[in-house]
């Protein structure tokens, strides 16, 4: 069920942002739809972009977004209710001023893991609201992201509709499935990324880190970067679970707080990159597990899963499962491996959430580290909502890699537009 809230917050729009968002002062503009807690916007912010408007229907996510991006005009309401003409005029953007429109509709209706995947699912129609913004703003470029399962939905019908709409509006569109670990994210996570431009197709960012993962979906062998052993020497090593969270304060179940201080020095380049210079971080509380899950956890070794648990301790449904099914359930992370896809629930029944060397499940902060959110990024709302916000996000470093690629495209476009009049004058 989608969470719907009334309009939460309005921040006065800056005067004429479309006229000042140019490469001369180093700033570029974005609008973020289906923004969630702000993973994409944080990555774009790190690449030198400014988000002027953000929308999501989840109230707690907008509270988090607004807290971490206080100058952005944020709204918590259904996108169907938002008039893009009103937004553009309030921001004082002329058509064509916006540098990048970013976002993607909720992915549950597209996921290959969803129990039902009908073309009539209203979540699968929300891309039309994104298209309304493209049509009204006519941005120079856009980023449309989703899960790879979108490619196979309705035997590709929905994807073809999306591509057709973008081309109808005059955009050249390139698409690729990116693996977050290729960009320094310590997590096995795949995202379908569409990049659009009015000028020419935009190349997707090349991998910077060597990592491999199972691409068990349509396009897995044709739309992903295929790395071989030869790439291992040229790329940086993957960021592991131990690299990502090994410096965070160790906790027993029931320990921790919403604000905690560091207890040791950063132990990896990644940890140093994530650290908050103020010496504190947030959302680091070790949740208590039920007695049944504590008993099950004791049998699971690093890299193991429910298959390590004695049959009589398993839930009734799992007792009937085949050993080849549900490979991540009741899993324990490995310090020398990648985290599995961060989920919206920190529930051992659904994924790998047990710590490699501590007898508890992931904190919100540890999950956020796997999503490459900096430690200064604070998640608001109840803890259940915090896990959901983190799990729904696009990894920050993946977003930053895409943002840098779009920036290079916009810089080249700007240079070409300057050189052409000079050549004509000459």
Helices (H), 92-228: 127-137, 157-168
Which residues lie across from 32 on neighbouring strands? 54, 102
- Total count of domains within the chain: 2
The answer as to whether 265 is a domain residue is no
Structural domain harbouring 303: 289-362
Q: What are phi and psi of 247, to 5 degrees?
A: -95, -10
Query: 409 and 341 share a domain?
Result: no
The pTM of this model reads 0.91
Query: 86 and 209 share a domain?
Result: yes
Query: 404 and 352 share a domain?
Result: no
Burial class (CB in 10 A: 0-12, 13-18, 19+), 405: buried
CATH classification of the domain holding 330: 3.90.120.10
Query: 32 and 180 share a domain?
Result: yes
Q: What is the DSSP string of 372-417?
A: T--TT----S-HHHHHHHHHHSPPHHHHHHHHHHHHHHHHHHHHHH
Out of 341, 362, 383, a domain closes at 362
The answer as to whether 246 is a domain residue is no
The answer as to whether 9 is a domain residue is no
Query: 208 and 317 share a domain?
Result: no
The answer as to whether 386 is a domain residue is no
Query: 82 and 199 share a domain?
Result: yes
From CA 270, how far away is CA 171, in angstroms rounded? 37
Query: 316 and 209 share a domain?
Result: no
The average confidence (pLDDT) of the chain is 90
What are the catalytic residues? Answer: 107
Query: 323 and 413 share a domain?
Result: no
Q: pLDDT tens across 216-266, in order?
A: 999 999 999 999 999 999 999 999 999 999 999 999 999 999 999 999 999
CATH classification of the domain holding 75: 3.40.50.150
Query: 88 and 185 share a domain?
Result: yes
The answer as to whether 280 is a domain residue is no
Q: Which residue has the tokens 């935009």?
A: 202
Q: pLDDT tens across 357-389, in order?
A: 999 999 999 999 999 999 999 999 999 999 999
Handedness of CA 315, 320, 321, 323 (dihedral sign): positive
Q: Which residue has the tokens 């699912």?
A: 121
pLDDT band for position 426 (cuts 50, 70, 90):
low
The answer as to whether 390 is a domain residue is no
Query: 105 and 30 share a domain?
Result: yes
Contact 186, 240 (CB under 8 A): yes
The answer as to whether 254 is a domain residue is no
Q: pLDDT tens across 4-56, in order?
A: 444 454 444 444 443 444 544 568 999 999 999 999 999 999 999 999 999 99
Query: 227 and 313 share a domain?
Result: no
From CA 252, how far away is CA 254, in angstroms rounded? 6
The answer as to whether 119 is a domain residue is yes
Query: 102 and 156 share a domain?
Result: yes
Out of 317, 346, 362, a domain closes at 362
What number of H helices and E strands is found in the chain?
14, 13
pLDDT band for position 314 (cuts 50, 70, 90):
very high
Long-range contacts, 47-55 (Cβ 8 Å, 24+): 47/400, 47/403, 47/404, 47/407, 48/403, 48/407, 49/99, 49/100, 49/403, 49/407, 50/17, 50/21, 52/13, 52/14, 52/17, 52/91, 52/93, 53/87, 53/91, 55/79, 55/82
pLDDT band for position 324 (cuts 50, 70, 90):
confident
């Amino acid at each position: 069920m989608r969470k719907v809230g009334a309009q939460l917050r309005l921040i006065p729009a800056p005067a004429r942002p479309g006229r000042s968002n140019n490469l001369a002062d180093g700033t570029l503009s974005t609008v973020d739809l289906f923004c969630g807690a702000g993973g994409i916007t944080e990555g774009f912010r790190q690449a030198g972009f400014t988000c002027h408007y953000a929308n999501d229907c989840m109230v707690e996510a907008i509270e988090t977004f607004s807290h971490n991006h206080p100058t952005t005009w944020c709204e918590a309401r259904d996108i169907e209710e938002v008039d893009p003409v009103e937004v553009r005029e309030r921001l004082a953007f002329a058509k064509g001023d916006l540098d990048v429109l970013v976002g993607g509709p909720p992915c549950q209706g597209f996921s290959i893991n969803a129990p039902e995947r009908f073309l009539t699912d209203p979540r699968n129609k929300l891309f039309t609201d994104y298209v309304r913004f493209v049509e009204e703003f006519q941005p120079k470029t856009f980023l449309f992201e989703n899960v790879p399962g979108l490619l196979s939905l309705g035997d590709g019908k929905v994807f073809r509709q999306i591509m057709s709409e973008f081309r109808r509006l005059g955009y050249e569109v390139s698409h690729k499935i990116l693996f977050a670990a290729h960009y320094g994210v310590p997590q096995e996570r795949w995202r379908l990324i569409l990049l659009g431009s009015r000028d020419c197709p935009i190349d997707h960012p090349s991998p910077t880190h060597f990592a491999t993962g199972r691409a068990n979906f349509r396009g897995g062998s044709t739309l992903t970067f295929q790395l071989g052993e030869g790439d291992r020497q040229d790329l940086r090593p993957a960021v592991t679970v131990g690299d990502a969270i090994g410096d965070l304060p160790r906790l027993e179940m029931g320990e921790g707080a919403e604000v905690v201080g560091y207890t040791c020095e950063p132990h990896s380049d990644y940890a140093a990159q994530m650290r908050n210079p103020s010496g504190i971080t947030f959302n680091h509380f070790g949740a208590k597990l039920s007695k049944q899950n504590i008993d099950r956890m004791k049998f699971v070794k690093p890299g193991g899963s429910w298959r390590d648990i004695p049959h009589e301790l398993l839930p009734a449904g799992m007792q009937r499962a085949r050993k080849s099914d549900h490979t991540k359930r009741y899993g324990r992370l490995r310090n020398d491996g990648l985290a599995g896809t961060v989920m919206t629930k920190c529930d051992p029944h659904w994924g790998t959430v047990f710590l490699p060397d501590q007898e508890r499940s992931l904190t919100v902060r540890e999950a956020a580290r796997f999503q490459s959110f900096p430690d200064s990024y604070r998640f608001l709302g109840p803890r259940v909502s915090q896990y959901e916000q983190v799990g729904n996000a696009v990894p920050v470093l993946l977003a930053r890699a895409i943002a840098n690629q779009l920036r290079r495209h916009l810089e080249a476009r700007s240079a070409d537009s300057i050189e052409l009049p000079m050549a004509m004058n000459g």
